Structure 1
Amino acid sequence: MNLLTLVVLGIISIAACCKFGDLKNWGEYYSTILFYNVGAMTENIITRNRPLWLFYGSHMTDTIADYVFGFLIFPFIIILYLSRYPKARKKRILYTTAFISFMSLVELILYKIQELQYYNGWNVGWSILLYVGVFPLLRLHLKRPLTAMLILFTLTVGGLLCFHIAIID
């Protein structure tokens, strides 16, 4: 992935969170950020020999991009998402849909400008479905962490089976 692309995405996520998020209470969201990173790093380890997507370039480029997304971009997105989560059910659905749509659009753009490539049956449709699961799961983790962990484990096993990913080679 192009370094400039990472810098731009980083600046946008930081600026949006600084403007609209609750950064002063970041500690409230810290365990959910770690939950996200454990899931993302688990995906990286499990799919190392059969990747579903890679940021365009070498494996080193992909690794750097994964770390920037996991430790810079997505933490700010998580804080923004969770700190402004609405109380009214209808607003929650619209709010979550907006985040899913935005992240899906960003990914589609990265794919179209060839900063991201899909492999082994993965495509943008699967990514949208992933975001449909990720954002509600982040909210669930904030309120009921053990339940969210059990669901993540179940979804991970389902993903392994669906995409024929062997844990042991």
Structure 2
Amino acid sequence: MKKKHRIRNRHIVLILSVILLTIFSKSWREIPKYYKNMVYVSSFNAIYYLLCRRHLVWEFIPNGINWWLIRVVHTIIITPLLVLVFLNKMPNTLFKQFIYFLRWIIISTAVEYLIHKKHLILYAHGWNVLWSGILYVKMFVYSHLFTRRPILTLFLSLCSSVFFIFKFNVPLKIKHFSRYFEPLLDIYYHTYLVDLFTRKKIL
């Protein structure tokens, strides 16, 4: 029980850290300027949970927090705010932009590695922190590109999404008979039964 409370508190610290970063960097003032970029990133995050709902390659381990709530918080608050802070401080010159991208990708990947080690996020189906690093490359590059080339960005996002779907064998059978039992499957996947399995990996 104490371990579960520690993990829950770590989630709260992570969420508050991102919100405070947005406040102290004064990035929140630029929401009217970058809200489309934020919606873009949030939308593709939501699409991931929709397409991969039975084949999640990564998932936040709730432990005391409702699984649906933690997904929503990360989808509509945490990820968009990170992109907002990233875009708000974008340098002007090409070389400085390259260094800026590199720094954000390395720091984000390192933070996720620590989060994984602290048992806040679980990997599956061959996913690892290196793939997360590639995903951060995609997120930061595409969110910046979306400002000037939204149609191109959407096309590239579609292509990369198709790649990930085939790479990690994501099943897309919409008419599969299991759709009739989705409420029961949700009960199985997101109750303490799933904690019994994740706890083995944590321990």
Look up the equivalent residue of 1:165 and give its one-letter code: V
Mapped to 1, the partners of 2:41 and 2:61 lie a distance apart of 22
**Structure 1: tracts of 5 or more residues without a match:** none
Deviating 4+ runs (over 4 angstroms): none
Equivalent runs, 1:4-19 vs 2, <5 Å: 4-19=9-24
Instruction: Please report how far the alpha carbon of residue 57 of structure 1 lies from its aligned counterpart in structure 2 after TM superposition.
Output: 4.2
Q: Which moved more, 1:135-144 or 1:13-22?
A: 13-22
1:84 to 85, 89, 103: 89
Mapped to 2, the partners of 1:123 and 1:61 lie a distance apart of 24
Q: How many residues align?
A: 168
Quickly say closer, same or farther: Cα 1:7–1:57, change in 2 above 3 A.
closer
Instruction: Please report how far the alpha carbon of residue 5 of structure 1 lies from its aligned counterpart in structure 2 after TM superposition.
Output: 2.1
CA distances 1:94-153 after superposition (whole Å, capped 9, x unpaired): 111111112111211111111111101111111011111110000001121111111100
Look up the equivalent residue of 1:152 and give its one-letter code: S
TM-score scaled to structure 1, two decimals? 0.91
Aligned to 2:71: 66
Quickly say closer, same or farther: Cα 1:20–1:135, change in 2 above 3 A.
same
Aligned to 1:114: 119
For the 8 Å contact 1:53–1:116, the answer to whether it is kept is yes
**Alignment partner of 1:24 is 2:29:** yes
Aligned to 1:127: 132
Report the structure number with the largest CA radius of gyration: 2
CA RMSD of aligned residues (A): 1.7
Mapped to 1, the partners of 2:110 and 2:66 lie a distance apart of 22
Mapped to 2, the partners of 1:14 and 1:99 lie a distance apart of 17
Q: Secondary structure at the match of 1:37?
A: helix
Aligned to 1:104: 109
Identity between Structure 1 and Structure 2 (%): 21
**Structure 2: tracts of 5 or more residues without a match:** 177-203
TM-score scaled to structure 2, two decimals? 0.77
Aligned to 1:3: 8
Q: Secondary structure at the match of 1:120?
A: coil
